[in-house]
Structures are given as structure tokens and as C-alpha cells.
Amino acid sequence: MAAPSERLSPPTLSESAPSSASGTVSSRPSSYLDSVRPHAEDRPLLRTLKLGSDSVKSAEAEQVPCASYAMPTSDSDKDGIFPAVVEGPERGNSEYSQAASQLGSTRVNVYNIIYPFNVMQQTGFALGAGLSSGGRVIDRAKDSRDGAINNLFTFFAGAFPENYEPPSGFYFEVNDDSPVVQDNINLFDYNVHERVNDFVAAALSQDGRVNALYSTPTIYTDAKYAEHLSWPLKTDDYFPYADRVNAYWTGYFTSRPALKGYVRTMSAYYLASRQLEFFKGRSEKGPTTDSLADALAIVQHHDAAEEIVADSLACMCPLLNISYCPATEIDLSAGKKLAVVVYNSLGWKREDVVRIPVINGNVTVQDSNGQEIESQLLPLANVSLLMRDFYATAYVGKPPSVTPRYWLAFTASVPPLGYSTYVISAAKRKGATLVTQTSYKSTGNPNDIIEVGPGNLKLIYSANEGKLTQYVNRRSSVNASIGQSYSYYSSYDGSQDLEYFQASGAYVFRPNGTFPITSEGQIHSTVLRGPVFDEVHQRINSWIYQITRVYKEKNHAEVEFTVGPIPIDDGIGKEIVTQVTTAMKSNKTFYTDASGRDFLERVRDYRADWNLVVDQPVAGNYYPINLGMYLKDDRKEFSIMVDRSVGGSSIVDGQLELMLHRRLLHDDSRGVAEALNETVCVLDKCAGLTIQGKYYLRIDPLGEGARWRRSFGQEIYSPFLLAFTEQDGDKWTNFKVPVFSAMDPSYGLPDNIAMITLEELEDGKVLFRLAHLYEVGEDKDLSVMASVELKKLFADKKINKITEMSLSANQEREEMIKKKLVWKVEGSKNGEFKSLRGGPVDPIKLVVELAPMEIRTFTIEFTSLSASVKKGLML
């Protein structure tokens, strides 16, 4: 490798920082470069390159200095070479937050333009700033000039002349002809000098003033640290945000809900498959879980090519949600048996209801000991069969050859990090219980009720109107009024906009009126009652169908909705929502999760950092719901959990609202260049997309809801995973190990700890992560320090070495701590902010401590897998 001086020889080099004299590069003092040099010995020497003055001739009247850049001289620090355009004072006042929410209404004086594609890699370098969705990073600020926002930093190579678009010649998308930045001096197409000049020229054309620093995120962070300031600590986020008036980016929280549900399902398979790959041993020649990881990564990019991922993720009855599962649709009357392996990827023992489609009515279910267990049969609804036939044909290319008649449901009990086996066969005596079915129509008496639920939880419906009216839990002594309804927002088409065209689209949510969705006549309710759970079937209208389930052993209700195709023959796009209403006095306040971790307080029409001007009272109060949301009063908490990422809010006190589906007719001019009008075609018939999903609701006494949100939230993320195989003959099973757990039989993870990663790496080490599920003060019993005993968790293996890593596992935590910058925080003792953390791991005791909300990452080196583990995986 060439020496640094050789690699950087052209053009002119200077060891010192440019002065502020005319004809030089920067208005910074001479000590500036020293202040941004890396502190550690192993970081590379930084040098400054002076460019000629030709590129800034247009700015001579204002005496704008030439451009400069600093670049690393060693490959070890190449976290990217990024240009930055700087203008105006470096710090603004608290209005920085309003700029994040309404970018278009404020003049931005500082841009930090960063290469657009390694966003995840660069996020960790944004110290001293807050990162929100869409890549916007807001640097906390101190003073302002004429109300301008003086410190807005934006990830991506654009932001900037227009919407998300970069200057001409700097658009690095696929098939674009913009020259890339080639910074290897030894290659023939080295062009840093030319590209920097082009960038400076583009910046000058916008504003006429420029100070361009060719830099890295590390250099920028060091420069901010060198200012020795105390920084405000921001614990919330910047949702919801808008880039101009009437343009809140809150529609994409729900857009493409079927794909979001598919990703959530396949993410659970990915988590489990990595665990199983670890138990069995990573294949050296065959396929690994990396292919599924690649597919999931691609599909979660906001511009993903969905059809590629759909082909990659088809496995293990992925259409079970629409009752299509050929593996279970076999005739058991001829003596065949169906073995069901139920896998639990969580670290604690759990029980849950398994539902599979079957064609035989006289069947029985046996557990791993050969004992019959309680089960029930429910007839498949006509709406389910119609949806099944259409979407199964679209998915596999031909109509299903067999039509199941029933859902078979039973309760499975599975050990932590393991599986249990169940066998379904024809019943010789009494088989599964066929549910009783009762249809209810208007009685004319407003006092007539329908009580649903075989256990402690009861839902009460009005027999006259078919509407939900009461929630009663005998176990928790909760008795609360409750109602549920549907409505839609008509989507604004932008036709009346004079200054800025803004339609509701894939990203932007802009409603143009709210309309209740009413039944064509009275809502007819059909109630199915069984020993495991009850169901309430309701057709809301011709394109909305709902099933509400109340389980014997659970204290929450499950609502399964089928929405679509959304009609658009009136030329109006529609955004479908459901509202669940209580009498609770929530005082405009509700709580939504932040990426499934902590819950953040939201106050309708209010922002803590500035005085909000409300121009969109609905869209401006919508938030992303990844795990759930809740509200409370002085007596109770009302929570809703979701099975996929959606948008939600509390537009009315005591009410929670979820957006379930969107079908729009206009593009919102945010880069997609098409309307959000998803359709599915089978042969010559096309229809708007129908989606099926679930949400879960529960009301608890005040202070007791967190335990359900946290534990059940993990069960939503990691549901039971099912595998099937046929068995012949009278022998009840051919499995040598019908029940398996990787843990010590007497052990399970604490209720407040989740194992979020267990993965064998290419070098044979094992990547292992644990997360504390609770926030400080969230639960009186579980918001405490917790311990995990690794010897019991990995009962059949010997740990030779354990090394704690950084969160992303790209360096040892000990080394990271040595390089970590300690930032001064306003209002904290000694200017530093300290949080509670678990202590070091004793290599002998092998116990990991975790404080509330802490995530710890390790690499572990084991001896070879034991025979018992491998034996359990020979299925």
C-alpha cells in the first residue's frame, strides 16, 4: 500500500488548517483542524486539500473562500468520505425541533450531506443529535437569527434543492449516470478533486455562499465534542413530521399493510431459524439463514422490490392466515396421522392456542405423552373460503385442489427455546368438540344482551344492534363501557391547492373528511361457542368482515379484520380506520411505542419543544405503532397491541384509533411516482387488495397494563411456529425426541428479559443478545435489575469464552468504552448523564445482569454441540 503522502500527492497538500485569509479555504481559526483530529493513536493522520479558486468565481463579490476537504489517509478509518455544505451560525435555538416537523416552513442554514446508502452504518456516528425516520437528524441548538433554524443536519445525499432530490449530478440511484466519488488515488478514475468542485458549484448555485468540508462523521463528531458544551437531553422523538404545510409523513405508517404483516411473520421465522441453525450447526456448503436475512433486509427498504422477497419467503404454510395449508389438509380417515411440531423461540415456557385447517370433522389431538387434549372445531366462514381460493390461486398459480371444512383449535404447551409434538388423527370415540353456533338478529328490546367468553373475560354486545358495549374481567374486577366502529378518511386529491400540490399518497396522509362506515342494515352477529374460545362473526359491510375471539385462558380480546377490496368507483381514495372507544378521561394524552421498546407520551395538538400550529388535526397527530398504544385515566389503562406496523392515534379522549388499510388514486410527489392502489390479478380478473390482520385489546387497573404489553408483545413478535409431517400406521409417533428444550429443565428466562439474538457466525462464534423489556418505573415488580444464568440457559454446552461487544457487535465493548466520548448533559450532576447498567460478566459464574431497557451483546465460543442437542434436532 502506498504511503499516505504518496496517495494524497495530487493536488496541493497542507499539514495545517486553512486560514481565513482571502484565497484560502476556510473561515475557521487555525486551530480548527487540530480540534477535529481523532484522539486515538490508531486513527489516521488527517490532511487538508486546497482546491483552486476557479470553482468559486461566482462568489468573489462576497469574498466566499474556496472549498477544502479533509480525508483519512488510512483504510482503517474509511467510514466514508462525505461532503458537507455549511452556511451561517452553527447553533440555533429550540426551534430546531419545529424544523424537523415542518421543514418547508423554515429556512435551513446548515446542511450536512452524507452518502445515502449506508444509513444504518452511519447512524451510530450521529452523537449529540437525535435521529428520526426519513433520515433527518436534528442537532440541538442554542441561539437563532431572525427565527431561522440554524442547525439542521440531514442524512442522505439529497435534501435539498427540491424535496428528497440531490443537486444535479449527485443522484446515485440505480441506472443514474451521475459520476460516483472515486477516492482511491491509485485508480485511473480518481476524481475527488472534480467531484468536490462540482459539489461546491452546485451549492453556490443555490445560495451563493459556501464553506465545503470534505469530511467524515467521526470528524464532525469530534468537532462538536471539542466545543465543550453542555447538551440538552432529548428523550422523545420528532414524530409526526411534515416537510411543508399539509404534508405530514404519517400515511406510510400503514401503507402496504399486507406486506408489513408478511415481514412480521417471516421475521419470526428468521429468529427461530437462526436458533435452530445454532443448535444443529451452521452448514458449510448448503444454504444458511443469511439468504432469509438478505430477503428481509431488502423488503424493509422503503423502495423495496416486493416480488423478489415474496419469492424468497414462501415457506412453512405462509398462507395459514387465510386457511390455506396443504400440509394439514390431508384425509385422516384412512388411518393417516398428522404430526405437528410446535416451536417456541422465547426463553420462557408458554401456552397458546394453535389453529390449523382440516378436512375431517371426527378428529382428536394427542400430546407428546399420547394423552388426548381438549380441542374444538369451527366451521370455516364463507368469506374465508372465498378469500382463500382467490389468494391461494394468485400465490401458487393454480386453484387449491382440496377445500378444508374446519379450523381445528387446541392449546399447546411448549418449553422455553424448544418444541413440543402433537399428533392429530381420526377419533375412535369422541373427538374434538364442534362449537355451537347461534345467529342473532334484532330483538327490538334495547336491554337484550349477548355475553361472549368461556373464561374470566366477558364481552357484552347489544342483541338489538349487534354492537360491543361492555368489557368485564372477573379476575381483575374491571368493568368498563367500550364500543368499536369503523370509518374512513376520504383522501385529498390536491386539486384545490394553489401554492403547493399535495395529495394523500404512499407517504403523506392528507384526509379530506371523515365518514362512518355503517352496516347495510343491522349488524347481524353469529356467535360460535367452544371449550377453548368463543368467536363473534360480524359482517360490517360488503367489504369489511370481523371476527372477535375471547379465550378461556386469556384476559384480552383478539379482533381479526378482513378489509377490502376498498371501493374506488366513486373516484375517491379511502383510508380505513377502526376506533375503540371507552369512557376514560385521557385528557388528550396517550402513549405509543418507539420501535417496540419504550413507550413515549403523546399529547394531541401539542409539542413539548415549540408552540405547534395545527393545520392537519388528524394527520398531525398520527404516530407509528409497531408494538402497541395505550391511554389511561386515574383508575384504568386501555391498551391495544398490533400484529404489524400501522399508524394510530387518539383523536378523541378515551378513544384509540388504528389505520388498517389504504387505497389511493393520486401520487403524493414524494418519489414513488404512482398512486398507492394495490391490486391482485388472477387470470383476467383483478381486484383491489384485501388484507387480513389482527389487533388485541385489554383494560387493566391503573399500573397493571405494562406486564401484559411487554410479555404478550413478545408473543406477538415470536408466535408459535408450526411444522407438519404425515405419519402412517398405528404407532402414535415416529419421533425419537417428541419434546425438546435447549435450557435446563428447571430454568427459564426471567419475565422481564428477552433473548433477541442467538446466531452462529461464519467464524464459529455465536452472537448472543439479551434485552430488558421494561422501562424504569414502568412496573413495580419487573422494572428492576435482572440476572440470566448462562450455564442453565445453555445447559448442554460448555462456554469456553464470552466477550461483551458493542450493540452492533463490530467491536469489543471494552475497546468502545475507551474511545467513547463523554458528553456533558444539561441539568445533570457534573454535566454528565449516567444510566444504570449491569455489571461485568464473571467468566466463572457466567451470570449476565441487565438494568431496565438495557440491551447487552456478546460473542460466545462453545465446545462442540452435545449429542443430546443434535439428537433433538434430527426430525
Per-residue pLDDT band at 48 (split at 50, 70, 90): very low
DSSP helix, strand, coil percent of the chain (3-state; round to 5): 20, 30, 50
Domains with residue ranges and CATH for the chain? 4-231 (no CATH), 320-433+718-727 (2.60.40.1180), 488-703 (2.70.98.30), 744-872 (2.60.40.1360)
What's the pLDDT at 707? 96
What's the pLDDT at 49? Answer: 28
Statement: residue 18 has pLDDT above 60: no
Closest CA to 302 of 668, 594, 671: 671
**Assigned C-alpha cell, 481:** 363501557
Q: Which residue has the cell 392537519?
A: 616
pLDDT of 385? 87
pLDDT-derived band at 69, boundaries 50, 70, 90: very low
DSSP-assigned letter for residue 832: B
Q: What is the pLDDT of residue 745?
A: 93
Phi, psi of 294 (to 5 degrees): -60, -45
Q: Which three cell numbers stand for residue 797?
A: 454446552
**873 — pLDDT class (breaks 50, 70, 90):** low
> Pick from 417, 364, 338, 356: which is nearest to 739 by CA?
417
Average pLDDT over residues 85-102: 33
* DSSP secondary structure string for all residues of 757-780: EEEE-TTS-EEEEEEE---TTS-T
Nearest Cα residue to 641 out of 550, 575, 705 = 705
Those residues whose C-beta lies under 8 Å from the C-beta of residue 496, and which sit 6 or more positions away, are none
Number of residues that make up the chain: 875
pLDDT of residue 15: 31
* Residue 629 pLDDT exceeds 50: yes
More confident residue, 207 or 615: 615
Residue listed under C-alpha cell 404489553: 709
Q: How many CA atoms lie within 13 Å of 808's alpha carbon, on the beta-carbon side?
A: 9
CA nearest to 699, candidates 456, 479, 452: 479
Contact present, 260 and 645 (Cβ < 8 Å): yes
What per-residue confidence (pLDDT) applies to 740? Answer: 93
Whether omega for the bond prior to residue 240 falls within 30 degrees of 0, making it cis, is: yes
Smallest CA-to-CA distance from 630 within 700, 539, 535 is with: 700
Q: For the ranges 125-129, 287-291, 372-376, 442-446, which has the lowest average pLDDT?
A: 125-129
30-44, 175-189, 685-699, 720-734: which has the highest mean pLDDT? Answer: 685-699
CB atoms within 10 A of CB 567: 13
pLDDT of residue 522: 67
How far apart (Å, rounded) are the C-alpha atoms in residues 783 and 706?
10
pLDDT of residue 642 exceeding 50, the answer is yes
Return the beta strands (E) in 520-667 as ranges: 525-529, 533-541, 544-551, 557-563, 574-582, 589-593, 599-603, 623-625, 628-632, 636-642, 646-649, 655-663
| pLDDT for residue 90 is more than 60 | no
Distance CA 345, CA 281 (A): 17
Query: How far is Cα 802 from Cα 789, in angstroms, rounded to an integer?
Result: 13
CB-CB neighbours of 605 under 10 Å: 11
The pLDDT of residue 576 is above 50: yes
Angstrom distance (rounded) from CA 511 to CA 499 = 18
DSSP label of 203: H
- Containing 122, the helix (H) or strand (E) segment is helix 119-123
Maximum mean pLDDT: which of 109-113, 161-165, 511-515, 832-836 = 511-515
Q: Can you give the pLDDT at residue 325?
A: 83
Helix (H) or strand (E) holding 124: none
Q: What is the pLDDT of residue 671?
A: 83
pLDDT (tens digit per residue) in 671-701: 888 999 999 998 888 999 999 999 999 999 9
How many Cα atoms are found within 13 Å in the side-chain-facing hemisphere of 333? 6
DSSP line for 629-661: EEEE-SSEEEEEEESS-EEEE-SSTTEEEEEEE
* Residue 187: pLDDT over 80: yes
Instruction: Give residue 206's identity as a one-letter amino acid code.
Output: Q
Query: Are 736 and 871 within 8 A, CB to CB?
Result: yes
User: What is the structure's pLDDT at 824?
Assistant: 87
Kindly calculate the radius of gyration of the chain based on its CA atoms and give it in whole angstroms. 30
The 10s digit of each residue's pLDDT in 736-777 is 888 999 999 999 999 999 999 999 998 889 999 999 999 999
Mean pLDDT to the nearest integer, 311-329: 67
- Mean pLDDT across the stretch 722-748? 83
Residue 179 has pLDDT above 50, yes or no: yes
Which of 52-66, 154-168, 187-201, 743-757 has the highest mean predicted lDDT (pLDDT)? 743-757
Angstrom distance (rounded) from CA 553 to CA 556: 9
**pLDDT of the residue at 603:** 96
pLDDT at 129: 29
Question: Which DSSP symbol is given to 405?
Answer: -
| pLDDT for 506 beyond 90 | yes
Whole-Å CA distances, 150 to 138, 213, 444 = 10, 17, 66
On average, the pLDDT of the chain sits at 78
Instruction: Using a pLDDT cut of 70, give the percent of the chain over it.
Output: 75
Answer yes or no: is pLDDT of 33 > 50: no
Q: Is the dihedral of CA 395, 399, 401, 404 positive or negative?
A: positive
| CA-to-CA dists, residue 762 to 76, 281, 295, 767, angstroms | 22, 11, 19, 10
Quick one: pLDDT at residue 163? Answer: 56
Note the pLDDT tens digit of each residue in 389-437. Answer: 888 888 888 888 888 999 999 999 999 999 999 999 988 878 888 899 8
- The residues, ordered by sequence, that sit 6+ positions from 597 with a Cβ below 8 Å of its Cβ are 853
Which residues share a beta bridge with 482? 582
Report the predicted TM-score, pTM, of the whole model to 2 decimal places.
0.78
- Predicted confidence at residue 831, as pLDDT, reads 54
Q: How far apart are CA 766 and CA 794, in angstroms?
A: 12
The SS3 of residue 373 is coil
d(CA 562, CA 382) in angstroms, rounded, equals 13
**Statement: residue 100 has pLDDT above 50:** no
Query: Between 230 and 57, whose confidence is greater?
Result: 230
Q: What is the pLDDT of residues 819-870, one digit of tens each?
A: 888 888 887 766 555 678 999 999 999 999 999 999 999 999 998 655 445 5
State the pLDDT at residue 135. 30
Distances (CA, A) of 144 to 107, 141, 206, 244: 12, 8, 22, 20
In 3D, which of 406, 752, 367, 377 has the Cα closest to residue 529? 377
